[in-house]
Amino acid sequence: MIFQYYPDTDMLYIKLVDRASTESEEVAPGIVVDFDEHNRAVGIEIEDASAFIDLSRLEVLALPISNLILSEKEPVSA
Report the distance separating Cα 6 and Cα 2, nearest Å: 13
Report the distance separating Cα 40 and Cα 28, nearest Å: 18
pTM given for the model: 0.81
Q: Is the pLDDT of residue 50 over 50?
A: yes
**What are the pLDDT digits (tens) for 4-41?**
999 999 999 999 999 999 999 999 999 999 999 999 99
Q: Is the pLDDT of residue 77 over 60?
A: no
Asked if 41 and 33 count as a contact pair (C-beta separation under 8 A), the reply is yes
Phi, psi dihedral angles at 51 (to 5 degrees): -70, -25
- Residue type at position 3: F
pLDDT at 67: 81
With cut-offs at 50, 70 and 90, classify the pLDDT of residue 75: low
Question: Which residues does 60 contact at the CB level (< 8 Å), separation at least 6?
Answer: none
Higher-confidence residue: 33 or 69?
33
